[in-house]
Structure 1
């Protein structure tokens, strides 16, 4: 069974993320959404909330699941027996920021990173932008999965 890990902070998970997972499942038997913590980021959702939302957002995809990543991604991919890390790219700026991480993860774990170009219709969707739209009362139901939209519209995004 081929396993890939699609890591990120997912604060919150968006339709762009779900699209990347869906398409990764055409290449891998199983895709684990690895919900990670980045000490340099300030989160709206707690780690358990981000994990629950990721699980609810991919549960309809056979072969997809979500798990917490505690510590280094390189260690997590080895623990779960993944043969690849999957990252979605919206454009060249994403590639520039992801390239060094892909090389470091390969150095640490021997696992390659596979880049999937995001759907052009979702290229403008980013978690930070979704939170900003929600904070100003804008419509987000076409940017995030339904479980996220329900929670985010009730969450105080000005924390």
Structure 2
């Protein structure tokens, strides 16, 4: 049986913590769909197309990983891709309550889809997209927080677009 997992998020931008979870999820499931949310409410720094491009670049060498953009319910997207598992990342205890509520909500919408929570390796536990965005606004060092392919894409962007 081909088990498909969906890893939804804003990925603004995709970080080493996200990448770590994707790599580990790929060892557990046959295929991982990285689902980049439009997330207008979060007012992302990068466009949906840029975030998709970064996620594709970071995961291009991983067999069995694909990237899609979406603007609908996560459960609907999971059903569109025949995914029976949702991947969610937990960095800290503070993430747990929100993620638990989200998992229960998704289960109430479709109880055939399981949510699996993965923690990034300790060295990535402090990394978040919001930390990276704050560093980028002030031209701070981000090489240690981002996959090299993502760092290259961001580095090639005009610094004016990152404000």
Q: Please give the TM-score of this superposition, normalised by the length of structure 2.
A: 0.92
What is the match of residue 51 of structure 2?
A: 50
Unpaired segments of 5 or more residues in structure 2? none
1:5 aligns with 2:6: yes
* Residue from 124, 127, 133 that aligns with 1:125: 127
Mapped partners of 1:52, 1:39: distance in 2 = 18
When structure 1 is superposed on structure 2, of 132-141 and 4-13 the one drifting more is 132-141
When structure 1 is superposed on structure 2, of 94-103 and 11-20 the one drifting more is 94-103
Q: Deviations over 1:5-59 (max 9, x none)?
A: 0000001000100100100011100000000122321111111111111111111
Would you say how many aligned residue pairs link Structure 1 and Structure 2? 158
Confirm or deny: 8 A CA contact 1:33 1:65 kept in the other structure.
yes
Q: Please give the TM-score of this superposition, normalised by the length of structure 1.
A: 0.94
Mapped partners of 1:108, 1:8: distance in 2 = 18
What is the match of residue 22 of structure 1?
A: 23
Q: For 1:97, what is the secondary structure of its paired residue?
A: helix
1:114 aligns with 2:116: yes
Unpaired segments of 5 or more residues in structure 1? none
Q: For 1:85, what is the secondary structure of its paired residue?
A: strand
What is the match of residue 82 of structure 1?
A: 83
1:119 shift after superposition: 0.9
1:150 shift after superposition: 2.1
Mapped partners of 2:149, 2:46: distance in 1 = 13
Mapped partners of 1:38, 1:71: distance in 2 = 10
1:95 shift after superposition: 1.1
Q: For 1:68, what is the secondary structure of its paired residue?
A: strand
Mapped partners of 1:27, 1:56: distance in 2 = 22
